[in-house]
Structure 1
């Protein structure tokens, strides 16, 4: 038999055949839109001589494309090649967020006519062109990268765009042809500090000013990478945002949660774009010589025409050129992200650390205290050996009378231990080091008590709640106090953080000594009690000095800004109240927690076994990748979508949908819930409980959120679930002491009541005044259904809108919540505003005020700054408007419960009750009361809480508090 070549068809050049013994699928995808703009900006303007047509970008594009075609020749080059373009500016993301890419200016006038010429050039070079209405080029690249990977092939993305880096891994790399560099997982880690599978979460945090993706204001790539490294992923980070120590970061993540989640949807590339072109159409082929020559002649690219010749790209130097992106199978290096080292302290000109005194004798202490008493105002700070105020040891106290006139009184400092077996090693002899000179602790505390409790001497603190709790543990009730953190919070809440270091830099131009400088870092970090007295004095005395200087600057501004009343009524009294609550703690039942932990563990094991049975084989139920492979790859469940990294989506929403018709997803959801409850609550609470008292002592942050809401940490007791049966079991482990009961007092729908008052909504006011269920009343008003005929589904929709409106919910968000399309959700919102026009009026008025002033105020005068309202980014301005609408409502609710908390101890004492306030959980207060006085205590608690707004504000709707007593928190709630 004679071998004959297969004939070429005249309309389609012969493609490289993929035989069983031939090369595997290697798809190269050119980010053509990026090529165009790079070519335009890299070259000077060029016009066609014959008619003046701009062609500079076209020439640059052709040069880049020809170089790529020439360089990719060789055994490891692509089998398939495609150039992918953006079709238009409007995509499905604009439906999700109308400000997406809204700040992009129009392309340069001389570039616009070159776009179609670039597409002609691509075809002339024999490269397949691809674009799709409603989708970006990046989405098509993601879609075909996933298709190539699913087919067992490899994909090379010819681009350096960070938006595409989420695709890297599992047979996908990027190649930057300008730098001739492969971008694999190690390159992403090197540049951004995260692996490619976390790029979506990182971009959701940092946003993108070019595409108008809002992200989290103030969080850059390094901070985002550090947070993701610590918390694992974005969902966990947002869920545990209240635990973050840095106030500004914590406040940003809490306040901009919805904005961050929307940003994640905007940056996430889809692998399911409805592109119909098969990969086979992209087979590599040489350009048709006549077509290519005709195009280059038409463009008058004579130099390129000469270099291209017949259009067949020879290998360099006549040898088989190996394509640059060969290292697809190279080992992946994923170093751990290393956070940046802290900046060294910078001493301001007015700070003299050498002037600080270390007081080591009673005579020196008496003399300094006499001067402090005469001054009438003293900066005050404590140094401890732990973060928990209830369990920390007191190392010493620092005081400041004036600039550089500050001192540290060490109380329990020790020589650091010498490393050895068991921690100390003196060769069998006693420690011969000379004892540190310090005043006897009881004697020093007795003398300090006379100053710290002196009503004629103002103690100035920074985050004084901690210091008050520390001293109260030692029988000293520090009063009166001023708190520079809270003064700053009242003056400029929302503009910046309120930690001492940040305030010192902002107002004093000074960087205080960082703790790590005196105590070390990591495993080498030592307790403050082991810090030598000289550096301990500089560090501690400087804190008191800085605090007093800040007070002298900030305190006068309260009166000038007419915010003195806000500070005096809502902030200044609260540290002492919270310190007492933290010290009291709340009792837990360790046996119950251990039983629950064991029960959850056994149920998890049972669910895991059942999951394996349903799947037909063992797999890791905690692995999203393995779950996706089981559900969609092996069981062929419908409705699956892949993430840009090629992994199946297996989030709660996906599993909930699948659970409607399949058992396995429900089993996996139940396993996940139990895993979270066990790790986050039962196990963690056992660890957090004091072994001597079985009480858990949380810590409250007063300046955590711009609206005035408190946050809880170490442990966080404000996020314990209550809606699920297993979640309720956790609350059942919070119990009263013998002979006592827990009382839970909760405001009923306080934010909706405040919306009715602030927005002056007659329909809502009438419903609240009459005691009608507000969601039923809203549903009746919106949908015309009589109250007595209301069905649960209609009420549920009204409830979602009621609460969503308070948070500025969009049609997109409501549609997702109710599982309806955006059109229907938008119609609901439109109807809502039509039925309650006062809400629209309130929103419009608030937007106008915040644009003019840069802040909004609660009805109690709390000022909440919204810096995003003046952002250059339209996205941030839009979210600023939504924050401004919500802030007066949520802020007023926070103000009301603060007012109630401030009044509560005095009211209980005046009634002759020994009931103790233990917890604040947003709109709820939890108390412990002797069984015999529970009823009387409930009456006092309800009276104080329901009247907390008065006399400052006379609300036009009643506040209602639901209170109940029981042996555990769940039954009391």
Structure 2
């Protein structure tokens, strides 16, 4: 049969997956009222499809049209390379049931819907594009997928429908640095972390394009690799030739995919009104049904209003709080009744009551459960006999409690059941308490983290605040139960009846917050943030905190003595400089020396008339006066001694001999973790004394500590976000970024660079990220303010893209009230439009947040993946300090652990974000943290 497709025909090929994911992420969630089925992506897909067909007129209108889908995840490429697309993240649960509905939608619009087993949608598109071009027709590929750019030219173009931008040969060159016929060569070298195509290690898109343009094509380049001057690049191309050629096979689209249809089958057809209306009515799309019916000139079908089922998207009406209705569970039969209710419901809010806030030593006093709003109980376990005000209260257990072991034995199967969701407020705390009793709580949801994902930067996330704000209910306060000061008691001394009302209410509040927050995650557009960056971190951090890290008490003691001696020496020097004795630890007396004896300007007095000498005042003075600099040095040593070498000794756990810090997931607006009790993230590393503190953190005998640290991650992210080509190129070429900056700014050749010039460039590099002012840089470098401001001005002249990024970010924050990381985390900026001194701080915070927040998200993703990455190795992840992860590893597993951890960290952004600048990780090892870092 002769084909009718030929000259004058225009084939449009829509990348179905791109439409689906665009619809899913761009639109708020929607569930079908009759049964709660997720249909948000289907609704968006239908709207996009309908608009695309009706809006395409004139010379570019399609005569033939098809939507192309992937069928299954296994293709011939997986047979070539079993790790192909192995790091793709799982499809969101609420999207999975919508995928077949998008196929049905395409067919309902009477548009060809095609997929082939064993081949990707891109292969089908490639084959159809080649057939249509060879037949003399035009082709428009509706997609922005870079893998399809190898097809562009000779009548084939791409259309990014979301940006309404056409991509021709010049557009491909702009993207890849080569024209379409050489795109495969570049991709084979650069690889693709999203699809897990290995490529040539260390060679990115720009370098690959340079090489291909120089040598003509990939085969010639590989044959002449020995001629390349750069040793590392020459070695990579020689040793990794097989890997590069495999990568070429993986990225090369199959243009001969066996099709069971022809181009003629794709001819544009009008929809069948009855079939289309039936589908839209079945989905209960009332607005879209009416709009399309109007276009078709028919009456829309009647879609019956059905009562919404009770789902997480439509929380039930909540009953009033009634503390008297809470049940105290005294025996196993009563607890079994609650367990049956939990299994029937499939979820339970859980809260533990303990004797303290340190999860590693606190005793478990009781457990509260809630299965429905207003229906909660408390299981008292270890309350002590005697009145709360009894000075000699008995250590015997109060009557009417279940034996601890019996209660935990009954609860363990439920708390560990994968089919039952455990809901908590700060679930990490409860999980660690229960883990010490042999219960591995999973799966979990955390209302504190839900609030953080939605409202980071707006307010706190403690339960009392959330209850008051979102439930209009003030919880029973703890202070009247425990007292304060010397008369304070622990929770095991609280009377069981009082404890029941208080503890059960906590579980009740937690469940109600969950019912309130869970559907709001979708509406706020932060479901992915919560599900990929917040919730999965709970078990990872809990395990790290329970591992702890060994600290050598003797080393700390020796350091304390050394610091005391050095402080005494500084004190003597300061007395000599002042010409008299004074108390160095007294801010008022230091102020008297500076502003009265020495007559310096800039001093301020408190309301009581005493001189005030805060750090910022001393830092300003230290740029010109040695005395102020010495006072700062003294205070730094004093802080090291009191905060670390003295205080750390009190944090050593008597049972484990290790220090167990606690990480707060919600501790910073940007997504950075905060470390408390003790804070191990603020140990100074800029001074020799500060770095020495890390010598006290040691490995157990036979083990070593490994430190893996992202190299200049925030500068790399800045280069990506702000589009700074000079920084991108420097990172790609492995240059010393601070030396490069200094050379750019100060016109100093790299070979003539001095350490002092580089140090100043480094301070500016990092300072600019934080929106540093001339005053701030002057303090950091201890130089005059005018000189510091001159450095900053010159920096913006050399890298104008940074100023553009700053201006655009502030404008976005002012318009939307938040800024966003590359992974979708929103950091709210409520004071961005404020006047006065707060305005400058708010602007600096808004500028920094996308950069620091993206870096924080990257290391969170690495930490979440790390347990699987090092599974089977004798290694444990112990600490996270901003951009650094610290491990304790058996001596014979060092290399394997470094390889696994580095691979995980360097690929942590993938596949969600493809950075223009490669992340690199430095690794070190040693018997203590100082050696390893």
TM-score bin, normalised by smaller chain: 0.5 to 0.7
Determine the C-alpha separation between the residues in 2 that align with 1:971 and 1:598.
Answer: 22
Is residue 865 of structure 2 the alignment partner of residue 903 of structure 1? yes
Question: Paired residue for 1:918?
Answer: 878
CA 1:884/1:618 → structure 2, altered by over 3 Å: closer, same or farther?
closer
Q: 1:756 aligns with which of 716, 719, 726?
A: 719
Would the aligned equivalents of 2:623 and 2:783 in 1 still touch at CA under 8 Å?
no
CA 1:916/1:656 → structure 2, altered by over 3 Å: closer, same or farther?
same
Question: Paired residue for 1:931?
Answer: 891
TM-score normalised according to structure 2 size: 0.63
The Cα of 1:854 is off from its aligned counterpart by 1.3
Question: Paired residue for 1:886?
Answer: 848
SS of the equivalent of 2:605 reads coil
SS of the equivalent of 1:868 reads coil
Is residue 923 of structure 2 the alignment partner of residue 963 of structure 1? yes
Question: Paired residue for 2:203?
Answer: none
Q: 1:362 aligns with which of 332, 348, 360?
A: 332
Question: Paired residue for 1:808?
Answer: 771
Matches within 5 A, 1:937-948: 937-948=897-908
Determine the C-alpha separation between the residues in 1 that align with 2:730 and 2:788.
Answer: 24
Q: 2:547 aligns with which of 573, 580, 584?
A: 584
Question: Paired residue for 1:524?
Answer: 487
Determine the C-alpha separation between the residues in 2 that align with 1:631 and 1:870.
Answer: 38
Cα deviation digits, residues 503-541 of structure 1 (max 9, x gap): 111111000111113222222221101111111011111
TM-score normalised according to structure 1 size: 0.60
Question: Paired residue for 1:246?
Answer: none
CA 1:619/1:831 → structure 2, altered by over 3 Å: closer, same or farther?
closer
Determine the C-alpha separation between the residues in 2 that align with 1:432 and 1:788.
Answer: 74
Would the aligned equivalents of 1:744 and 1:925 in 2 still touch at CA under 8 Å?
yes
Q: Which moved more, 1:558-567 or 1:357-366?
A: 558-567
- Kindly report the root-mean-square deviation, in angstroms, between the aligned alpha carbons of the 2 structures: 2.6
Determine the C-alpha separation between the residues in 2 that align with 1:415 and 1:659.
Answer: 61
The Cα of 1:666 is off from its aligned counterpart by 6.8
Q: 1:817 aligns with which of 776, 780, 784?
A: 780
Q: 2:360 aligns with which of 365, 373, 390?
A: 390
Determine the C-alpha separation between the residues in 2 that align with 1:554 and 1:812.
Answer: 43
Would the aligned equivalents of 1:590 and 1:694 in 2 still touch at CA under 8 Å?
no
The Cα of 1:561 is off from its aligned counterpart by 2.7
Matches within 5 A, 1:200-279: none
Would the aligned equivalents of 1:417 and 1:424 in 2 still touch at CA under 8 Å?
no
Would the aligned equivalents of 1:946 and 1:961 in 2 still touch at CA under 8 Å?
yes
The Cα of 1:819 is off from its aligned counterpart by 4.4
Question: Paired residue for 1:693?
Answer: 656
Question: Paired residue for 2:644?
Answer: 681
Question: Paired residue for 1:352?
Answer: 322
Is residue 589 of structure 2 the alignment partner of residue 626 of structure 1? yes
Matches within 5 A, 1:266-665: 350-416=320-386, 424=392, 435-608=398-571, 618-630=581-593, 637=598, 639=600, 641-645=602-606
Is residue 775 of structure 2 the alignment partner of residue 828 of structure 1? no
SS of the equivalent of 2:583 reads coil
Would the aligned equivalents of 2:603 and 2:617 in 1 still touch at CA under 8 Å?
no
The Cα of 1:583 is off from its aligned counterpart by 0.8
CA 1:664/1:849 → structure 2, altered by over 3 Å: closer, same or farther?
closer
Question: Paired residue for 2:264?
Answer: none
SS of the equivalent of 2:832 reads helix
The gaps in structure 2 that reach 5 residues or longer are 1-317
Determine the C-alpha separation between the residues in 2 that align with 1:847 and 1:530.
Answer: 53
The Cα of 1:459 is off from its aligned counterpart by 0.4
Determine the C-alpha separation between the residues in 2 that align with 1:832 and 1:671.
Answer: 33
Would the aligned equivalents of 2:388 and 2:493 in 1 still touch at CA under 8 Å?
no
Determine the C-alpha separation between the residues in 2 that align with 1:737 and 1:508.
Answer: 49
The Cα of 1:805 is off from its aligned counterpart by 1.4
Would the aligned equivalents of 1:743 and 1:927 in 2 still touch at CA under 8 Å?
yes
Cα deviation digits, residues 750-808 of structure 1 (max 9, x gap): 11100001111101000011111111111222232222222333323322221121111
CA 1:434/1:453 → structure 2, altered by over 3 Å: closer, same or farther?
closer
The Cα of 1:849 is off from its aligned counterpart by 1.8
Determine the C-alpha separation between the residues in 1 that align with 2:388 and 2:785.
Answer: 67
Determine the C-alpha separation between the residues in 1 that align with 2:926 and 2:651.
Answer: 24
Would the aligned equivalents of 1:722 and 1:731 in 2 still touch at CA under 8 Å?
no
Would the aligned equivalents of 1:399 and 1:408 in 2 still touch at CA under 8 Å?
yes
Would the aligned equivalents of 1:640 and 1:649 in 2 still touch at CA under 8 Å?
no
Q: 1:729 aligns with which of 665, 668, 692?
A: 692
Question: Paired residue for 1:245?
Answer: none
Is residue 719 of structure 2 the alignment partner of residue 719 of structure 1? no
Determine the C-alpha separation between the residues in 1 that align with 2:932 and 2:676.
Answer: 23
Determine the C-alpha separation between the residues in 2 that align with 1:565 and 1:799.
Answer: 35
Question: Paired residue for 2:751?
Answer: 788
Determine the C-alpha separation between the residues in 2 that align with 1:485 and 1:927.
Answer: 28
Matches within 5 A, 1:67-78: none
Determine the C-alpha separation between the residues in 1 that align with 2:663 and 2:397.
Answer: 41
State the structure with more CA Rg. Answer: 1
Question: Paired residue for 2:820?
Answer: 857
Determine the C-alpha separation between the residues in 2 that align with 1:398 and 1:508.
Answer: 20
Would the aligned equivalents of 2:365 and 2:381 in 1 still touch at CA under 8 Å?
yes
- In the alignment of these two chains, the number of paired residues is 614
Determine the C-alpha separation between the residues in 2 that align with 1:837 and 1:632.
Answer: 42
CA 1:432/1:838 → structure 2, altered by over 3 Å: closer, same or farther?
closer
CA 1:788/1:527 → structure 2, altered by over 3 Å: closer, same or farther?
same
Would the aligned equivalents of 1:659 and 1:665 in 2 still touch at CA under 8 Å?
yes
The Cα of 1:875 is off from its aligned counterpart by 4.6
The Cα of 1:723 is off from its aligned counterpart by 2.3
The Cα of 1:488 is off from its aligned counterpart by 1.0
CA 1:536/1:565 → structure 2, altered by over 3 Å: closer, same or farther?
same
CA 1:771/1:512 → structure 2, altered by over 3 Å: closer, same or farther?
same
The Cα of 1:552 is off from its aligned counterpart by 0.8
The Cα of 1:914 is off from its aligned counterpart by 2.1
